């Protein structure tokens, strides 16, 4: 007879009833594997203490903080499996925040190529999400097959990846751990990235002054939407130094993502970011020279002289620059295209740098505030297609505020609590 030690144990330490902080344990015998080690997003939610769990390996689904944010608290020897691009994007964000490079023991996996960790065979499936280099995972222990969806959607620029999974689904899935961020939510007027691109284009066509776009530089689909809208309307997309570096990383894996060598892309070189690049020459190589002396550089004088030719992409923290560029007359409104989660502007989130100031800009009479955003997560309709195709024996909700609603939409739902054990 098998002993408990040879059974696979599934414990979701965090994420059964909140969005963010995801941490899934799979253990068998002595081996403890974690899928994602995220920082919580919900106020008051306490991060998982990895010292209590003592994982022997960690697998990270994608470079969003609510999935990898606890990486620094991990023993440096523990192997951390992730996509190489994910690691590069995480390191870039850290450098620009003046944080030390990570000291973890990184191992890179490739899409659809199985690898071994803690006695499990893990196959990464590239998925469509608002982060680049995002994966779902098939985890096999020799007897059972578990599929973890990670964060995913079907309405971005890589929707083909979703179609692939549902049109030729994996068979014999015992457990599907599936995200449900969009339960009780919808995408409003923007069902897809293409709808966002069209809205940005509509604004650019009529702009009489510089337009601003508030979006994450790591949301590559959104950068592509902004770029296409600019190209179709004869405008230049201006990114900051950090945004330019993100695009340099993408250049290594895709020829289809715009970068600073494309004529319709410009870089605004802000002093503090340029210092970061110069101080870390070993990491950035000739990038400092490319942005400072290259044709891509867009100066303040150029922005002022031909303001209506540019779309300036920035973040909440760019509020000061936006405010300084507002006109003093009542005729020319400054278009401010807000292209990320609207909740950041709620008073509850004014602790985030720039959130309060951006909310003030929204209400400024000199600003034309436009909301254009679609979620990084699958709608209920797409979640349903996904779950029906994989037809798991058990479907466990994760990354959701509405786990109790899963039963309304999906079959074979098993609702777990954080920390509850399920023996497969």
Q: Which residues bind Zn ion (CB under 5 A)?
A: 64, 151
DSSP 38: P
> Residue 123: which of 103, 102, 98, 145 has the closest Cα?
145
Least distance in Å: CB of 378 to Zn ion? Answer: 12
Task: Compare residues 182 and 210 and give the one whose CB is closer to Zn ion.
Answer: 182
Task: Compare residues 151 and 221 and give the one whose CB is closer to Zn ion.
Answer: 151
Least distance in Å: CB of 366 to Zn ion? Answer: 34
Task: Compare residues 192 and 219 and give the one whose CB is closer to Zn ion.
Answer: 219
Least distance in Å: CB of 41 to Zn ion? Answer: 10
Task: Compare residues 151 and 199 and give the one whose CB is closer to Zn ion.
Answer: 151
Kindly state the tokens that stand for 61: 């689904």
Contact of 71 with 57, CB cutoff 8 Å: no
CA 260 – CA 253 distance, rounded (Å): 15
Cβ-based neighbours of 38, under 8 Å, separated by 6 or more? 14, 15, 20, 21, 22, 23, 64, 65, 66, 67, 68, 69, 70
Contact of 330 with 208, CB cutoff 8 Å: no
Contact of 377 with 179, CB cutoff 8 Å: yes
Least distance in Å: CB of 180 to Zn ion? Answer: 13
Strands 175-179 and 394-398: parallel
CA 259 – CA 296 distance, rounded (Å): 10
DSSP 365: T
CA 336 – CA 313 distance, rounded (Å): 10
Strands 236-240 and 265-268: parallel
Task: Compare residues 177 and 237 and give the one whose CB is closer to Zn ion.
Answer: 177
Task: Compare residues 124 and 201 and give the one whose CB is closer to Zn ion.
Answer: 124
Kindly state the tokens that stand for 348: 């509850």
For the four alpha carbons of 358, 361, 367 and 368, in that order, the dihedral sign comes to positive
Least distance in Å: CB of 208 to Zn ion? Answer: 36
Contact of 318 with 354, CB cutoff 8 Å: yes
Least distance in Å: CB of 223 to Zn ion? Answer: 16
Task: Compare residues 370 and 380 and give the one whose CB is closer to Zn ion.
Answer: 380
Least distance in Å: CB of 369 to Zn ion? Answer: 26
Contact of 222 with 194, CB cutoff 8 Å: no
Task: Compare residues 151 and 193 and give the one whose CB is closer to Zn ion.
Answer: 151
Give the DSSP H or E segment for 11: strand 8-14
Least distance in Å: CB of 154 to Zn ion? Answer: 15
331: helix, coil or strand? Answer: coil
Task: Compare residues 64 and 158 and give the one whose CB is closer to Zn ion.
Answer: 64
Least distance in Å: CB of 153 to Zn ion? Answer: 10
The packing angle between helices 271-279 and 241-251, to 10°, is 50
CA 182 – CA 162 distance, rounded (Å): 16
Least distance in Å: CB of 151 to Zn ion? Answer: 4
The packing angle between helices 84-96 and 271-279, to 10°, is 120
Task: Compare residues 19 and 118 and give the one whose CB is closer to Zn ion.
Answer: 19
């Amino acid at each position: 007879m098998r002993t408990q030690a040879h059974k696979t144990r599934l414990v979701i330490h965090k994420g059964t009833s909140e969005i963010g902080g995801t941490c899934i344990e799979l253990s068998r015998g002595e081996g403890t594997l974690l899928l994602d080690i995220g920082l919580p997003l919900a106020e008051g939610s306490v991060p998982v203490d990895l010292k209590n769990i003592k994982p022997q390996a960690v697998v990270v689904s994608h470079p969003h903080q609510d999935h990898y944010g606890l990486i620094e608290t991990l023993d440096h020897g523990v192997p951390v499996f992730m996509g190489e691009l994910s690691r590069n994007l995480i390191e870039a964000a850290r450098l620009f925040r003046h944080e030390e490079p990570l000291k973890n023991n990184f191992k890179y996996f490739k899409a659809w190529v199985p690898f071994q960790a803690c006695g499990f065979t893990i196959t990464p499936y590239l998925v469509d999400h608002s982060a680049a280099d995002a994966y779902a995972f098939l985890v096999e222990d020799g007897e059972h097959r578990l599929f973890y969806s990670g964060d995913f959607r079907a309405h971005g620029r890589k929707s083909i990846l979703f179609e692939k999974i549902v049109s030729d689904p994996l068979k014999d899935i015992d457990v599907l751990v599936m995200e449900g961020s969009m339960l009780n939510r919808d995408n409003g007027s923007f069902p897809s990235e293409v709808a966002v691109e069209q809205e940005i284009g509509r604004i650019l066509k009529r702009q009489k002054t510089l337009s601003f776009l508030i979006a994450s530089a790591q949301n590559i689909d959104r950068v592509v939407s902004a770029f296409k809208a600019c190209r179709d309307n004869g405008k230049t997309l201006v990114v900051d130094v950090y945004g330019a570096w993100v695009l340099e990383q993408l250049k290594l894996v895709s020829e289809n993502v715009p970068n600073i060598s494309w004529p319709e892309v410009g870089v605004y070189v802000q002093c503090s970011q340029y210092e970061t690049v110069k101080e870390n020459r070993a990491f950035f190589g000739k990038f400092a020279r490319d942005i400072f002396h290259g044709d891509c550089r867009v100066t303040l004088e150029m922005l002022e002289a031909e303001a209506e030719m540019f779309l300036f992409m920035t973040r909440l923290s760019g509020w000061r620059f936006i405010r300084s560029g507002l006109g003093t007359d009542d005729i020319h409104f400054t278009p401010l295209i807000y292209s990320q989660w609207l909740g950041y502007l709620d008073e509850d989130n004014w602790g985030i740098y720039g959130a309060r100031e951006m909310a003030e800009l929204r209400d400024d009479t000199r600003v034309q505030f436009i909301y254009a955003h679609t979620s990084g997560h699958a709608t209920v309709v797409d979640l349903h297609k996904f779950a029906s195709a994989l037809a798991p024996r058990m479907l466990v909700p994760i990354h959701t505020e509405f786990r109790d609603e899963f039963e309304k939409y999906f079959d074979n739902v098993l609702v777990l609590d954080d920390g509850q054990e399920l023996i497969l």
